[in-house]
Amino acid sequence: MKINKKISAFTIMEVAITMLLSAIVIGITYTVFSIVSHSYHSYTIKHEEMNRLLRLDELLQKDFDRAEIVLKDTGGVAFRSQNRLIRYRFDGNYVLRIGITTDTFKVKNDSLLTSFESKVITTPGDNDEQNRLDELGIQLMLQNEKIPYYYHKTYSSVNLINRITNAVN
């Protein structure tokens, strides 16, 4: 007597189709992972650059507000108050802030415009009055885009009168 036992198994065609579907799913998963990973990396880089710009903007604005006098000097700008002097040096690839501590901002900057009462000051003069600034304009680069920043110092009347000794008479 013959006993016919059937063994349940997959055919070669079923195994091949399963492997093909698995390869397609793995390929799609890898592609999506690559896109998400690249997007996250780009976002992180842009976020870090933007953070540097915002921090530099915050410090420049704070230094403009706190300074008694803003001066043009060689290579940049100086902020003088009663007990401190803060200098900014603008190089093409970075901005250096020298004060109690030194900060370096890896920010590309394109042009620096300094003026007092709408008169452009390009080179430092001999004394503080020739170097006094009330406006600073700078173009910073973010992802190959130029972003203009403008700062304005409003001097008190006492400060402006004190600069000319015979102004009150």
What tens digit of pLDDT does each residue of 92-105 get?
A: 899 999 988 899 99
pLDDT at 21: 97
Alpha carbons 120 and 168: distance in angstroms, whole number: 27
* C-alpha dihedral (155, 134, 81, 148), degrees to nearest 10: 130
Supply the DSSP string of 46-58, one letter for each residue.
HHHHHHHHHHHHH
Which of 6-20, 48-62, 117-131 bottoms out in mean pLDDT, i.e. has the lowest?
117-131
Query: CA-based Rg of the chain, rounded to a whole angstrom?
Result: 32
d(CA 142, CA 148): 11
Q: What is the largest CA-CA distance in the chain?
A: 135
Sign of CA dihedral 52, 53, 57, 60: positive
What mean pLDDT do residues 161-165 have?
63
Q: What percent of the chain has pLDDT over 90?
A: 50
Q: What is the pLDDT of residue 163?
A: 62
pLDDT of residue 9: 81
The domain ranges of the chain are 12-162
pLDDT of residue 160: 64
Residue 28 vs residue 166, higher pLDDT: 28
Q: What pLDDT, in 10s, does the model give residues 62-75? A: 999 888 889 998 88
DSSP state of 6: P
Q: Is 114 left (phi over 0), alpha (psi -120 to 50) or beta?
A: beta
Average pLDDT over residues 148-155: 90
- Predicted local distance difference test score (pLDDT) of residue 8: 82
Are 141 and 110 contacting, i.e. CB atoms less than 8 angstroms apart? yes
Position with higher pLDDT, 90 vs 166: 90
- pLDDT at res. 1: 60
Is it the case that residue 144 has pLDDT exceeding 60? yes
